[in-house]
Amino acid sequence: MLACEWEEVRPDIVILGKASGGGVIPVSAVLADKDVMLCIQPGQHGRSAQMGEELAGQLLKIQQQYPDYVKEVRGRGLFIGVEFNSKNLFPVSGYELCKKLKYRGVLAKPTHDTIIRFTPPLCISPDFTEAKL
């Protein structure tokens, strides 16, 4: 199943994603021995937290600029959602906003008609969030 099995090597950590959920739901997993896993404490994956704060900060600035349109910015790490005021946004939907963001180079997913989910990769740079949003 994994390339490490073909090469007969044993990695310290294996990260599985994408295909784990069959393309239907986002599922990922981290596999490692107890010795490795006990070295990592909850919340130590600092890049996600740090970049999430920066992205949320940019989105909160947008909320302050457009309080009639942006209802709430919420999330943890790089998993961030933005909820819009539907009555003020009509007839534009979350889907339409995601299409406009894609045109600017930002991938986002509408989860409801008025909510957009941002889940950028961990390798995202601070410059990217500032320039694109």
Q: What is the mean pLDDT of the chain?
A: 84
Question: In this structure, how many other beta carbons lie within 10 angstroms of the beta carbon of residue 84?
Answer: 24
CA distances from 33 to 3, 11, 15, 27, 85 (A): 18, 10, 13, 20, 46
| pLDDT tens digits for range 37-86 | 888 777 666 778 888 898 999 999 999 999 999 999 999 888 999 999 98
Domain segments of the chain as ranges: 3-37, 46-132
Classify each residue of 16-33 as buried b or exposed e, where b means 16 or more C-beta atoms within 10 Å of its C-beta.
eeeeeeeeeeeeeeeeee
The CATH code of domain 46-132 reads 3.90.1150.10
Q: For residue 21, name the pLDDT band (cuts at 50, 70, 90).
A: low
- Examine the pLDDT at 120 and tell me if it is beyond 70: yes
What proportion of the chain, given as a percentage, has pLDDT over 90? 28
Rounded to an integer, the average pLDDT of 115-126 is 83
Distance CA 14, CA 29 (A): 8
pLDDT of residue 72: 96
How many C-alpha atoms does 114 have within 13 Å on its Cβ side? 14
Look-up of token digits 């994408």 = 18
Token digits of residue 75: 């999330």
